[in-house]
Structure 1
Amino acid sequence: MVHPTAPDTATVRPAADPLFNQSLEKGLDVLRAFTAAHRTLTLSELAQLTGMTKGSAQRTVHTLQVLGYVGKHPQTRRFQLLPKVIEIGFNYLAAHPLIRVAHPYLSQLATASGETASLTEPVGTDMVFVAQLLTTQFIPVLTPVGMRIPMYCTSSGRAYLSQLPEAEARALLEAAPRPARTPATLTQVDAILERIAQCRQVGYATNCEELFLGDMGVGAPILNSKGQPVAAVHLSPPTSRWTLEQVQQKLAPMVIECARAISQSITH
């Protein structure tokens, strides 16, 4: 996945922008430095991860402490995020009309398929989970709301890319790091574009253990009133319960219908 402090390709600011607030940028960089791999950080580690001087990092962290977004672990005294940061993301989710519209359709999809149904939106070269209905059955990988997954090797990402002009899809793929997450991961742009072209023809995209071992995906794009992709819906069937052929035959039609229903609902 993209490093938490790496800029999204769609939001890189111009070199000269008199209205840009660098202090706010630094504060957001500090918040984004905390990840599952970096749950607690020292001041020196924060400075290194964000590219700040130690003095600048200290001022930024102190401000976030005063505001209640960052605190210190009671035992290690290392910095960590506090629950208040959830408010920022929750406000986006609570006010998002697409999530409200999609929820009943995701619920129907999860019930009919017996698998976890998710809604994702594009962020740079990634897709981010914005809604999810979990199955009661075993799932090999936890993908909570807020988690980002790369477009190039996921069904939701490929479904989204399939509805973009080919030049735009290629540019996004070329801009993204494309490491081999598993032995099955496609990393060459032309090979990925072939899969995307197949999705364009059949209406859905697949991923078989390209992101996580034991995990598959089948996704379809959600389009707005102008026919532009805005999100994707996908199921996450594990290889312990499904073969790829079974996924294509049984689950793909359900995913296509769910995405179509959501698309129609947001265009009226």
Structure 2
Amino acid sequence: MTERLIQSIERAADVLELFLTSSEELSLKEMSDRLGLSKSTVHGIIKTLEYRGYLKQNPNNLKYKLGLKLFELGNKVSDQFDLSKLARPIIKELVDDLKETVHLVVFERGEVIYVEKMEGPQAIRIYSQVGKKAPIHCTGVGKSILAFQDEEEMERLLSNTELKPYTEFTMTDKEEIKKHLQTIREQGYATDDEEIELGLKCVAAPIFDHHGKAIAAISCAAPKFRMGDERQTEIIRRIKEAAAMISRNMGYQQKPAHV
């Protein structure tokens, strides 16, 4: 990166991002320790963020939590996020028909993030939640996006990703994953068969923008015992159709197959 970054703003962002992986409230000492910065430096940052409404102090324990200003900004982002707007009615129809949980994720700066999660009537507690990052190497949504990156980007992402084993079925060998991604690219969808959570199976398909880039994915997740062969075939068909519909709404024009 050649642009000059402003250190104080970077540190303020670091403070806010602590709350992505931490408890709801953090003390000045906890933030200072985790960031490796002096208490005086962090104190100045959090008091400024508190003044602007991005943090709020609990008067009972003097710890800090996220403020309403971030909620306002988050809602503004959601309102302006065309992909979510376009996908929401399609997701609702899928949930109504399939009676299972449907996810929408976006691919941004090498990361896959859940932006929509709509649960069916038989929902079970699973890994995903809106705002959480999805592992790119062992989730259906992650693999369906990764499979449609160019070779250089795919190699870069796999090399920079900790290929962590979440279950005994998680693939952690880079070459094995690359072969698997080729299959996904050929069939147009990905599955996660207990790779991130035991007992859970997922079917996902990529969403393309008007440039033909895989920028998102949609998936259906269900307990493995509800995803038999016939049921899985139906879910694959519906997820691929939904992904294609959202892609068309994003301006994607699929090239005709050669004969």
TM-score, normalised relative to structure 1: 0.86
Residues 155-196 of structure 1: CA distance to partner in whole angstroms, max 9, x if unpaired?
A: 111111111112311210110122212222112211221221
Match 1:106 to one of 70, 88, 91: 91
Does the aligned pair in 2 maintain the 1:140–1:238 contact within 8 Å?
A: no
The answer as to whether partners of 1:224 and 1:263 remain within 8 angstroms in 2 is: yes
Contact preservation (8 Å) 1:125, 1:175: no
Match of 2:167 among 155, 175, 182: 182
Residue 55 to residue 74, structure 1, CA distance change in 2 (3 Å): closer
Aligned to 1:49: 34
CA deviation map 1:32-73 (0-9, x unaligned): 101354322221221232232322111111111111221223
1:154-233 aligned at under 5 Å gives the runs 154-233=139-218
**Change over 3 Å in CA distance of 1:216–1:128 after alignment to 2:** same
1:250 counterpart residue number: 234
2:114 and 2:132 in contact (8 A); partners too: yes
Question: How far is 1:264 from its partner?
Answer: 0.9
Q: Any idea what SS the aligned residue of 1:131 has? A: strand
Does residue 122 (structure 1) correspond to residue 80 (structure 2)? The answer is no
Runs in 1 of length 4+ with deviation above 4 angstroms? none
Distance 1:248 1:107, change over 3 A: same
C-alpha deviation, 1:246, in angstroms: 4.7
Q: Structure 1 residues 247 and 156, CA, compared in 2 at 3 Å: closer, same or farther?
A: farther
1:84 is aligned with what amino acid?
K
> 1:120 deviation in Å?
0.6
Aligned partners of 1:241 and 1:161: how far apart in 2?
27
| Unaligned residue ranges in structure 1 (runs of 5+) | 1-12
Give the structure 2 partner of residue 263 of structure 1. Answer: 247
- SS of residue in 2 equivalent to 1:120: strand
Shift of 1:220: 0.4
Does the alignment pair 1:135 with 2:120?
Answer: yes
Alignment-derived partner of residue 9 in structure 1: none
8 Å Cα contact 2:105/2:116 also seen in 1: yes
CA RMSD of aligned residues (A): 1.9
Query: Aligned-pair distance for 1:138?
Result: 2.7
Q: 2:74 is aligned with what amino acid?
A: G
Figure out how many residues of one structure are paired with residues of the other and give that number.
252
AA in 2 matched with 1:132:
K
Provide the rounded CA distance (Å) in 1 between the counterparts of 2:234 and 2:22: 37
- Over 3 Å counting, the alpha-carbon distance change for 1:78 and 1:252 in structure 2 is same
Structure 2 gap segments, 5+ residues each: 253-259
**Percent identity of equivalent pairs:** 27
Residue number among 2, 6, 13 corresponding to 1:28 in the alignment: 13
Cα distance in 1 for residues equivalent to 2:111 and 2:135: 4
Flag the 1:69–1:217 CA change in 2: closer, same or farther, 3 A.
same
Question: Is the counterpart of residue 63 in structure 1 residue 48 in structure 2?
Answer: yes
What TM-score do you get using the length of structure 2 for normalisation? 0.89
Q: Structure 2 CA distance, aligned partners of 1:223 and 1:122?
A: 11
Distance 1:76 1:35 in 2: 21
Pairing 1:71-90 to 2, within 5 Å after superposition: 71-90=56-75
